[in-house]
Amino acid sequence: MTPMDDIEATGPWEDLKSTVHPALMFSFLFLICLEACLWVRGHRQKKSPPGPFPWPLLGNAMQLGQLPHLTFCKMAQIYGNVFKIKLGARDIVVLNGERTIRQALVKHSAEFAGRPNFSSFKIVSGGKSMAFGSYSDLWKAHKKIAHSTLRAFSTLNTESTRLFEQHVAAEVEDLIQVFLQLSSGGEYFDPYHKFTVAIANVICALCFGKRYSHDDHEFKALVGRNDKFGQTVGAGSLVDVLPWLLSFPNPVRSLYQSFKDLNIEFFDFVKDKVSQHRETYNPEVTRDMSDAFIGIIDHGVGAGEVLGKEYVEGTVTDLLGAGQDTNSTALTWVILLLIKYPQVQKKLQEEIDRVVGLDRMPTSEDRARLPYVQAFIYEVFRFSSFVPLTIPHSTTSDVIIDGFYIPRDTIVFVNQWSVNHDVDKWTNPDQFQPERFLDENGQLNKDLIYGVMIFSVGRRRCIGEQLSMLQLFLFTSILLHQCSFHSDPKEVLTMDCISGLALKPQPYGVSVKARRLATSKTLD
């Protein structure tokens, strides 16, 4: 007896067949089929992204390696541009490729504007970080204030921009003297730490109106905290996804404690400086960014009314921390690529000499007339991709990307490296070619530079992008105008990286010489 025969033998089904009109029976069966089709369609729409098999406790953590962005590129070749991994007990969706990333972060910007509820994120900037803060109306007000203030310091031909340029020029001049002294006698040195000090001084001048002596005890402590922060930030990430690591003694737990202590010390440093600014605040004079934030948040109206005074310290801490590490890393890549490709260095100096001349140093107003310098900087960004992954996002609501259903509160990793090294987008992406960003007339191709992803996109795009670009242009052009850079012939230069808050080159040696065109007039 078949299952259907068994059902029919029970009686009610036989009675139903004899009493229900065939048309009604057909309609009933049609509705069942329609419902089934809709269910199947909905199930397909909500299909979860594919991904590798996760192991108990660890998930896929052991598969990521030292450079996760490269692992993600390999996984994308197997699973596609949207796939899912597991870190500990947490599901992570990884986005690769420009089309997929822009679809998520731009077209669905609000849905991907969240931040994971990580314990480490709550430690940064006293819990008042804009970069790490959760998406809310308060966050929107915070971003509006920070963005407008930063724009005032990076827009051409404003008093704030001229003040910023003065800070940068003074720091580069000091840096040149340090470089020449270190290179006397044909010596070679690793420039990373010197760039870290120089960038920290620029940001301190920007935020506090004060530059420090390189031997200043307080300043050295600040720079030291930043170096240690880059070394320990990974521990915070591990504890966020593998919280059981805090349950027993191990190196990660020790690093996490250092991560917490460094954040507290760094925030206390900023609080002390902001407190001094509040005591001497004059609404008629904006000395620096601390004054600007105090004026808006402490004494302002509009968006500033919804933020507490502690958001001044949180915003300044964000600027000091983020700008210091990323910009010093970028400059370290700049010098490495200059000595790796001396023909590029020569071409850059020829353009600068032709446009700027011998009687002055480059300024922000020269930027539009130095397309090859700009192309070089964008190629450094693309080639190194020194921020390969953005700060993790989280979804604020259910969303579908590339046909895959991603539920609310899902952690999302965005692989910027995959955009900058996409073989379908870039010709020979593994080769360093600044000329790729110039058109047939030798001018900057704005469509191509738009495709470089280093500051992220969408609502979480780095608000310090314009200021960073201006600073890197000034450092690069002034250094090239005044100096030439040379590699150690005994050393084999490598593009291998050290993974941390940003991708840093392996230590290398450089020697710096004053160019023949440089005169005391340009340095005074």
Residue 34 vs residues 21, 165, 193: alpha-carbon distances, Å: 20, 68, 67
Nearest to 191 by CA among 337, 313, 29, 356: 337
Cβ pair 415, 453 in contact under 8 A? no
Tokens of 495: 């593009």
Cβ pair 155, 465 in contact under 8 A? no
**Please, what's the b/e burial string for 367-393 (b: 16 or more CB within 10 A of its CB; e: otherwise)?**
beebbbbbbbbbbbbbbbbbbbbbbbb
Q: What 3-state DSSP class applies to 178?
A: helix
Q: What is the DSSP string of 45-97?
A: HTPPP--PPPBTTTBTGGGS-S-HHHHHHHHHHHH-SEEEEEETTEEEEEE-S
Q: What 3-state DSSP class applies to 214?
A: coil
Angstrom distance (rounded) from CA 363 to CA 162? 10
Nearest to 139 by CA among 127, 150, 151: 127
Q: Which amino acid is at 277?
A: H
Tokens of 133: 């803060």
Residue 479 vs residues 171, 203, 352, 492: alpha-carbon distances, Å: 11, 19, 11, 24
Burial degree of 156 (CB within 10 A; 0-12, 13-18, 19+): middle
462 is in an annotated binding site: yes
CB atoms within 10 A of CB 237: 18
Torsion of the alpha carbons at 61, 71, 132 and 92, rounded to the nearest 10: -60
Angstrom distance (rounded) from CA 367 to CA 374? 7
User: What length does the chain have?
Assistant: 524
Cβ pair 132, 435 in contact under 8 A? no
Cβ-Cβ contacts under 8 Å for 395 (sequence gap 6 or more): 111, 112, 114, 406, 407, 408, 409, 410, 412
Angstrom distance (rounded) from CA 46 to CA 30? 24
Residues at the binding site are 462
Residues at the binding site for heme are 462
